[in-house]
Amino acid sequence: MTASPAPAALTTRAQEVSSQIVEDILTLVRHETGSYDRPGLASGLDLLRELTVRRLGPPDHEERHPGGECGDTLTLTYGGTGAGHVALVGHYDTVWPTGTLAGWEQPEAGEDGREKLSGPGIFDMKTGLAQGIWALKLARESGVPLPAVTFLFNGDEEIGSLSSRPVIEEVAQKVDVTLVLEPSAHGAVKTARKGTGIFHVTATGVESHAGLAPQDGASAITALSEFVVAAAKVAAPDKGTTINTGLFKGGSAINVVAGQATAGVDIRVSSGAEQTRVDEELDAIQVSDPRVRIDIDHAWNRPPMTLNATSAPLLDLAREVAREQGRGHLPDAAVGGASDANFVAALGLPVLCGMGAVGDGAHAQGEFIYPDTVPAQTALVAGLLGRLAEPLRG
Protein backbone atom coordinates (compact mmCIF):
# COMPACT_ATOMS: atom_id res chain seq x y z
CA MET A 1 0.00 0.00 0.00
CA THR A 2 1.17 3.52 -0.71
CA ALA A 3 1.88 5.83 2.19
CA SER A 4 -0.60 8.59 2.81
CA PRO A 5 0.98 12.01 2.19
CA ALA A 6 2.14 14.25 5.03
CA PRO A 7 1.19 12.11 8.05
CA ALA A 8 2.86 14.66 10.31
CA ALA A 9 0.60 17.37 8.88
CA LEU A 10 -2.44 15.27 9.78
CA THR A 11 -1.26 14.99 13.37
CA THR A 12 -0.53 18.71 13.50
CA ARG A 13 -3.99 19.53 12.22
CA ALA A 14 -5.55 17.28 14.88
CA GLN A 15 -3.62 19.20 17.51
CA GLU A 16 -4.85 22.52 16.09
CA VAL A 17 -8.52 21.49 16.43
CA SER A 18 -8.08 19.53 19.65
CA SER A 19 -10.09 22.02 21.71
CA GLN A 20 -13.03 21.66 19.32
CA ILE A 21 -12.89 17.87 19.50
CA VAL A 22 -12.84 18.03 23.30
CA GLU A 23 -15.79 20.40 23.30
CA ASP A 24 -17.74 17.92 21.16
CA ILE A 25 -16.82 15.18 23.61
CA LEU A 26 -18.11 17.24 26.52
CA THR A 27 -21.29 18.10 24.61
CA LEU A 28 -22.05 14.39 24.34
CA VAL A 29 -21.12 13.73 27.97
CA ARG A 30 -23.36 16.51 29.27
CA HIS A 31 -26.36 14.73 27.72
CA GLU A 32 -26.93 11.63 29.83
CA THR A 33 -27.79 8.44 27.98
CA GLY A 34 -28.16 5.61 30.48
CA SER A 35 -28.99 2.28 28.84
CA TYR A 36 -32.43 2.13 30.46
CA ASP A 37 -33.44 5.76 29.90
CA ARG A 38 -35.41 5.47 26.66
CA PRO A 39 -36.23 9.21 26.32
CA GLY A 40 -32.65 10.19 27.16
CA LEU A 41 -31.31 7.73 24.59
CA ALA A 42 -33.66 9.04 21.90
CA SER A 43 -32.67 12.68 22.41
CA GLY A 44 -29.02 11.66 22.85
CA LEU A 45 -29.04 9.98 19.45
CA ASP A 46 -30.63 13.06 17.93
CA LEU A 47 -27.78 15.12 19.42
CA LEU A 48 -25.16 12.70 18.08
CA ARG A 49 -26.68 12.84 14.60
CA GLU A 50 -26.79 16.65 14.73
CA LEU A 51 -23.13 16.76 15.76
CA THR A 52 -22.12 14.41 12.94
CA VAL A 53 -23.98 16.45 10.34
CA ARG A 54 -22.52 19.69 11.70
CA ARG A 55 -18.99 18.39 11.23
CA LEU A 56 -19.44 16.30 8.07
CA GLY A 57 -22.57 17.52 6.32
CA PRO A 58 -25.66 15.45 5.52
CA PRO A 59 -24.96 11.74 4.92
CA ASP A 60 -25.56 10.14 1.55
CA HIS A 61 -27.69 7.51 3.23
CA GLU A 62 -29.09 7.08 6.72
CA GLU A 63 -31.33 4.66 8.51
CA ARG A 64 -32.65 4.59 12.05
CA HIS A 65 -33.37 1.08 13.31
CA PRO A 66 -35.93 0.98 16.17
CA GLY A 67 -34.56 -0.52 19.36
CA GLY A 68 -37.84 -1.26 21.09
CA GLU A 69 -37.16 -0.91 24.80
CA CYS A 70 -33.51 -0.23 23.97
CA GLY A 71 -31.90 2.73 22.28
CA ASP A 72 -32.25 2.93 18.50
CA THR A 73 -29.38 2.14 16.14
CA LEU A 74 -28.44 4.79 13.58
CA THR A 75 -26.37 4.23 10.46
CA LEU A 76 -25.00 7.21 8.52
CA THR A 77 -23.09 6.53 5.30
CA TYR A 78 -20.78 9.03 3.61
CA GLY A 79 -19.58 8.25 0.10
CA GLY A 80 -15.87 7.97 -0.56
CA THR A 81 -13.50 9.38 -3.15
CA GLY A 82 -11.67 6.08 -3.65
CA ALA A 83 -12.46 2.41 -3.36
CA GLY A 84 -13.38 0.49 -0.24
CA HIS A 85 -15.91 0.85 2.55
CA VAL A 86 -15.19 1.17 6.28
CA ALA A 87 -17.57 0.97 9.25
CA LEU A 88 -16.90 3.10 12.34
CA VAL A 89 -18.88 1.55 15.19
CA GLY A 90 -19.63 3.01 18.60
CA HIS A 91 -22.31 2.95 21.28
CA TYR A 92 -23.83 6.04 22.81
CA ASP A 93 -25.48 4.39 25.82
CA THR A 94 -23.67 4.37 29.17
CA VAL A 95 -23.95 2.35 32.37
CA TRP A 96 -24.79 5.51 34.33
CA PRO A 97 -28.43 6.24 35.28
CA THR A 98 -29.83 9.66 34.51
CA GLY A 99 -29.01 12.10 37.28
CA THR A 100 -25.48 10.82 37.86
CA LEU A 101 -23.89 13.87 36.24
CA ALA A 102 -25.19 16.25 38.90
CA GLY A 103 -22.95 14.79 41.59
CA TRP A 104 -19.94 14.04 39.43
CA GLU A 105 -16.63 15.60 40.46
CA GLN A 106 -13.64 16.33 38.26
CA PRO A 107 -10.44 14.53 39.27
CA GLU A 108 -7.19 16.20 40.13
CA ALA A 109 -4.28 15.91 37.76
CA GLY A 110 -2.25 12.73 38.07
CA GLU A 111 1.09 12.46 39.80
CA ASP A 112 2.73 13.28 36.47
CA GLY A 113 0.73 16.51 36.28
CA ARG A 114 -1.33 15.40 33.28
CA GLU A 115 -4.80 16.87 33.00
CA LYS A 116 -7.76 14.52 33.26
CA LEU A 117 -11.34 15.05 32.14
CA SER A 118 -14.06 13.01 33.78
CA GLY A 119 -17.78 12.43 33.31
CA PRO A 120 -20.28 9.59 32.96
CA GLY A 121 -19.45 7.79 29.73
CA ILE A 122 -16.55 10.04 28.75
CA PHE A 123 -14.13 7.10 28.58
CA ASP A 124 -16.65 4.42 27.64
CA MET A 125 -17.20 5.68 25.05
CA LYS A 126 -18.31 9.17 24.07
CA THR A 127 -14.76 10.30 23.41
CA GLY A 128 -14.45 7.61 20.75
CA LEU A 129 -17.64 8.81 19.05
CA ALA A 130 -16.39 12.38 18.75
CA GLN A 131 -12.92 11.29 17.67
CA GLY A 132 -14.40 9.09 14.95
CA ILE A 133 -16.43 11.95 13.51
CA TRP A 134 -13.41 14.26 13.52
CA ALA A 135 -11.20 11.54 12.04
CA LEU A 136 -13.28 11.50 8.88
CA LYS A 137 -13.36 15.30 8.82
CA LEU A 138 -9.57 15.53 9.07
CA ALA A 139 -9.05 12.73 6.54
CA ARG A 140 -11.24 14.64 4.09
CA GLU A 141 -9.24 17.83 4.65
CA SER A 142 -6.01 15.97 3.88
CA GLY A 143 -7.16 15.44 0.32
CA VAL A 144 -6.25 11.75 0.05
CA PRO A 145 -8.63 9.25 -1.61
CA LEU A 146 -10.99 7.88 1.02
CA PRO A 147 -13.26 4.87 1.31
CA ALA A 148 -16.96 5.22 1.93
CA VAL A 149 -17.58 5.40 5.68
CA THR A 150 -20.61 4.12 7.55
CA PHE A 151 -21.04 5.29 11.12
CA LEU A 152 -23.04 2.86 13.25
CA PHE A 153 -24.23 4.31 16.56
CA ASN A 154 -26.08 1.89 18.85
CA GLY A 155 -27.79 2.54 22.16
CA ASP A 156 -27.80 -0.90 23.79
CA GLU A 157 -24.19 -2.11 23.87
CA GLU A 158 -23.89 -1.94 27.64
CA ILE A 159 -26.85 -4.31 28.02
CA GLY A 160 -25.78 -6.81 25.38
CA SER A 161 -26.58 -5.18 22.00
CA LEU A 162 -29.74 -7.27 21.90
CA SER A 163 -31.52 -5.17 19.28
CA SER A 164 -28.47 -3.81 17.46
CA ARG A 165 -26.55 -7.04 16.91
CA PRO A 166 -28.33 -7.92 13.63
CA VAL A 167 -27.62 -4.43 12.30
CA ILE A 168 -23.96 -4.62 13.32
CA GLU A 169 -23.53 -7.99 11.64
CA GLU A 170 -25.31 -6.83 8.49
CA VAL A 171 -23.18 -3.69 8.19
CA ALA A 172 -19.96 -5.59 8.93
CA GLN A 173 -20.69 -8.01 6.09
CA LYS A 174 -21.25 -5.16 3.62
CA VAL A 175 -18.05 -3.22 4.38
CA ASP A 176 -14.40 -4.15 3.95
CA VAL A 177 -13.16 -3.22 7.42
CA THR A 178 -14.74 -2.41 10.79
CA LEU A 179 -13.11 -0.10 13.33
CA VAL A 180 -14.73 -0.06 16.76
CA LEU A 181 -14.27 3.21 18.63
CA GLU A 182 -14.27 1.71 22.14
CA PRO A 183 -11.62 3.06 24.53
CA SER A 184 -8.07 1.82 24.08
CA ALA A 185 -6.16 -0.28 26.60
CA HIS A 186 -3.89 2.54 27.78
CA GLY A 187 -3.17 3.41 24.16
CA ALA A 188 -3.10 -0.15 22.83
CA VAL A 189 -5.64 -1.36 20.30
CA LYS A 190 -7.71 -4.34 21.39
CA THR A 191 -7.35 -7.47 19.28
CA ALA A 192 -8.73 -10.10 21.67
CA ARG A 193 -11.69 -9.96 24.02
CA LYS A 194 -13.42 -12.50 26.18
CA GLY A 195 -16.79 -13.93 25.29
CA THR A 196 -19.58 -13.08 27.70
CA GLY A 197 -22.55 -14.86 29.18
CA ILE A 198 -25.38 -13.13 31.01
CA PHE A 199 -27.02 -16.04 32.82
CA HIS A 200 -30.26 -15.75 34.76
CA VAL A 201 -30.74 -18.44 37.40
CA THR A 202 -34.10 -19.09 39.07
CA ALA A 203 -34.71 -21.21 42.17
CA THR A 204 -38.26 -22.36 42.84
CA GLY A 205 -38.88 -23.72 46.33
CA VAL A 206 -41.83 -24.24 48.68
CA GLU A 207 -43.23 -21.43 50.81
CA SER A 208 -44.22 -21.94 54.42
CA HIS A 209 -44.51 -19.99 57.65
CA ALA A 210 -41.02 -19.48 59.02
CA GLY A 211 -42.20 -19.78 62.63
CA LEU A 212 -45.15 -22.19 62.61
CA ALA A 213 -44.03 -24.71 59.98
CA PRO A 214 -40.48 -24.10 58.77
CA GLN A 215 -40.04 -27.81 58.07
CA ASP A 216 -42.74 -27.63 55.42
CA GLY A 217 -40.81 -25.08 53.43
CA ALA A 218 -37.96 -25.45 50.97
CA SER A 219 -36.02 -22.21 50.81
CA ALA A 220 -35.26 -20.97 47.32
CA ILE A 221 -32.86 -18.43 48.83
CA THR A 222 -30.83 -21.09 50.65
CA ALA A 223 -30.69 -23.30 47.58
CA LEU A 224 -29.73 -20.46 45.26
CA SER A 225 -27.04 -19.40 47.72
CA GLU A 226 -25.61 -22.91 47.51
CA PHE A 227 -25.73 -22.71 43.72
CA VAL A 228 -23.96 -19.35 43.64
CA VAL A 229 -21.13 -20.61 45.84
CA ALA A 230 -20.75 -23.74 43.70
CA ALA A 231 -20.87 -21.69 40.48
CA ALA A 232 -18.00 -19.50 41.69
CA LYS A 233 -15.86 -22.63 41.95
CA VAL A 234 -16.45 -23.37 38.24
CA ALA A 235 -14.36 -20.32 37.39
CA ALA A 236 -10.87 -20.98 36.07
CA PRO A 237 -8.91 -17.71 36.06
CA ASP A 238 -5.83 -19.51 34.74
CA LYS A 239 -7.88 -20.30 31.62
CA GLY A 240 -9.38 -16.83 31.42
CA THR A 241 -12.76 -17.89 32.84
CA THR A 242 -14.40 -15.71 35.48
CA ILE A 243 -17.83 -16.03 37.07
CA ASN A 244 -19.47 -13.25 39.05
CA THR A 245 -22.94 -13.20 40.59
CA GLY A 246 -23.82 -9.54 40.48
CA LEU A 247 -27.53 -9.61 41.25
CA PHE A 248 -29.44 -11.68 43.82
CA LYS A 249 -32.99 -11.29 45.04
CA GLY A 250 -35.74 -13.45 46.43
CA GLY A 251 -38.44 -14.11 48.99
CA SER A 252 -41.70 -12.37 49.75
CA ALA A 253 -41.52 -11.57 53.47
CA ILE A 254 -39.05 -11.96 56.32
CA ASN A 255 -41.27 -14.54 58.09
CA VAL A 256 -41.87 -16.66 54.99
CA VAL A 257 -39.60 -19.46 53.80
CA ALA A 258 -38.74 -18.18 50.34
CA GLY A 259 -40.48 -19.84 47.43
CA GLN A 260 -38.64 -17.92 44.73
CA ALA A 261 -35.17 -16.45 44.22
CA THR A 262 -33.23 -15.24 41.19
CA ALA A 263 -29.63 -14.40 40.43
CA GLY A 264 -27.85 -12.68 37.57
CA VAL A 265 -24.47 -14.18 36.74
CA ASP A 266 -21.77 -12.60 34.56
CA ILE A 267 -19.47 -15.13 32.87
CA ARG A 268 -16.33 -14.39 30.82
CA VAL A 269 -14.50 -17.00 28.75
CA SER A 270 -11.56 -16.90 26.36
CA SER A 271 -12.47 -19.93 24.27
CA GLY A 272 -15.36 -21.98 22.96
CA ALA A 273 -14.07 -25.00 24.90
CA GLU A 274 -14.40 -23.09 28.16
CA GLN A 275 -17.89 -22.00 27.19
CA THR A 276 -18.89 -25.66 26.79
CA ARG A 277 -17.25 -26.65 30.08
CA VAL A 278 -19.01 -23.90 32.01
CA ASP A 279 -22.38 -24.91 30.57
CA GLU A 280 -21.89 -28.54 31.55
CA GLU A 281 -20.56 -27.88 35.05
CA LEU A 282 -23.24 -25.35 35.96
CA ASP A 283 -25.93 -27.79 34.83
CA ALA A 284 -24.38 -30.47 37.04
CA ILE A 285 -24.61 -28.44 40.28
CA GLN A 286 -26.86 -30.07 42.90
CA VAL A 287 -28.41 -28.28 45.88
CA SER A 288 -29.04 -29.94 49.22
CA ASP A 289 -32.85 -29.74 49.24
CA PRO A 290 -34.26 -31.76 46.32
CA ARG A 291 -37.59 -29.95 46.63
CA VAL A 292 -36.01 -26.82 45.11
CA ARG A 293 -35.80 -26.64 41.33
CA ILE A 294 -32.93 -24.71 39.73
CA ASP A 295 -33.45 -23.35 36.20
CA ILE A 296 -30.56 -21.79 34.29
CA ASP A 297 -31.00 -19.53 31.29
CA HIS A 298 -27.73 -20.10 29.40
CA ALA A 299 -27.65 -16.71 27.67
CA TRP A 300 -24.30 -16.45 25.92
CA ASN A 301 -24.24 -12.88 24.71
CA ARG A 302 -20.96 -12.43 22.81
CA PRO A 303 -18.53 -15.02 21.41
CA PRO A 304 -14.82 -14.74 22.26
CA MET A 305 -12.82 -12.44 19.99
CA THR A 306 -9.36 -13.34 18.75
CA LEU A 307 -7.00 -11.78 16.23
CA ASN A 308 -8.19 -13.70 13.17
CA ALA A 309 -6.33 -14.03 9.88
CA THR A 310 -8.34 -11.23 8.27
CA SER A 311 -7.64 -8.77 11.10
CA ALA A 312 -3.89 -9.31 11.32
CA PRO A 313 -3.14 -7.25 8.15
CA LEU A 314 -5.35 -4.47 9.55
CA LEU A 315 -3.30 -4.41 12.75
CA ASP A 316 -0.12 -4.26 10.67
CA LEU A 317 -1.53 -1.32 8.71
CA ALA A 318 -2.53 0.54 11.89
CA ARG A 319 1.00 0.08 13.20
CA GLU A 320 2.43 1.40 9.96
CA VAL A 321 0.23 4.50 10.19
CA ALA A 322 1.25 5.03 13.82
CA ARG A 323 4.94 4.87 12.88
CA GLU A 324 4.40 7.34 10.04
CA GLN A 325 2.77 9.72 12.51
CA GLY A 326 5.71 9.49 14.88
CA ARG A 327 4.03 7.37 17.56
CA GLY A 328 6.48 4.50 17.38
CA HIS A 329 5.23 0.95 17.96
CA LEU A 330 1.44 0.64 18.40
CA PRO A 331 0.80 -2.14 20.92
CA ASP A 332 -2.20 -4.45 20.95
CA ALA A 333 -3.85 -6.08 23.93
CA ALA A 334 -6.20 -8.87 24.99
CA VAL A 335 -8.78 -7.69 27.53
CA GLY A 336 -11.48 -9.23 29.69
CA GLY A 337 -14.30 -7.00 28.54
CA ALA A 338 -16.44 -7.65 25.48
CA SER A 339 -17.68 -5.27 22.79
CA ASP A 340 -19.49 -5.25 19.48
CA ALA A 341 -16.17 -6.17 17.86
CA ASN A 342 -16.76 -9.70 19.18
CA PHE A 343 -19.67 -10.11 16.77
CA VAL A 344 -17.61 -8.98 13.79
CA ALA A 345 -14.62 -11.16 14.62
CA ALA A 346 -16.88 -14.20 15.01
CA LEU A 347 -17.93 -13.72 11.37
CA GLY A 348 -14.28 -13.99 10.32
CA LEU A 349 -14.21 -10.36 9.17
CA PRO A 350 -11.42 -7.78 9.68
CA VAL A 351 -11.93 -5.67 12.78
CA LEU A 352 -9.88 -3.63 15.24
CA CYS A 353 -11.28 -2.47 18.57
CA GLY A 354 -10.06 0.07 21.10
CA MET A 355 -9.59 2.85 18.56
CA GLY A 356 -11.00 5.47 20.91
CA ALA A 357 -10.09 7.15 24.20
CA VAL A 358 -6.95 6.91 26.29
CA GLY A 359 -7.77 7.03 29.98
CA ASP A 360 -9.14 4.63 32.57
CA GLY A 361 -12.01 3.76 34.89
CA ALA A 362 -14.66 2.27 32.61
CA HIS A 363 -17.89 1.68 34.55
CA ALA A 364 -16.35 3.25 37.66
CA GLN A 365 -17.10 6.53 39.38
CA GLY A 366 -14.50 8.95 38.13
CA GLU A 367 -13.83 7.38 34.71
CA PHE A 368 -11.60 9.76 32.82
CA ILE A 369 -9.66 10.54 29.67
CA TYR A 370 -6.35 12.29 29.08
CA PRO A 371 -7.31 15.17 26.77
CA ASP A 372 -3.72 15.50 25.55
CA THR A 373 -4.14 12.13 23.78
CA VAL A 374 -7.17 13.20 21.77
CA PRO A 375 -5.21 14.57 18.77
CA ALA A 376 -3.05 11.47 18.34
CA GLN A 377 -5.97 9.05 18.66
CA THR A 378 -8.03 11.07 16.18
CA ALA A 379 -5.13 11.31 13.75
CA LEU A 380 -4.54 7.55 13.95
CA VAL A 381 -8.07 6.77 12.80
CA ALA A 382 -7.91 9.53 10.17
CA GLY A 383 -4.63 8.18 8.84
CA LEU A 384 -5.98 4.67 8.76
CA LEU A 385 -9.01 5.80 6.77
CA GLY A 386 -6.60 7.35 4.29
CA ARG A 387 -4.98 3.96 3.80
CA LEU A 388 -8.19 1.96 3.46
CA ALA A 389 -9.32 3.27 0.07
CA GLU A 390 -7.77 0.11 -1.37
CA PRO A 391 -8.09 -3.52 -0.28
CA LEU A 392 -6.16 -4.99 2.61
CA ARG A 393 -3.57 -7.53 1.60
CA GLY A 394 -2.91 -10.40 3.96
Question: What's the confidence (pLDDT) of residue 107?
Answer: 83
Task: Name the stretches of the chain with pLDDT < 50.
Answer: 1-3, 5
Question: What's the confidence (pLDDT) of residue 390?
Answer: 84
Distance of CA 41 to the CA centre of its chain: 16
> What integer best gives the mean pLDDT of the chain?
95
Question: What's the confidence (pLDDT) of residue 380?
Answer: 98
Question: What's the confidence (pLDDT) of residue 112?
Answer: 79
Question: What's the confidence (pLDDT) of residue 394?
Answer: 58
Question: What's the confidence (pLDDT) of residue 207?
Answer: 98
Question: What's the confidence (pLDDT) of residue 2?
Answer: 44
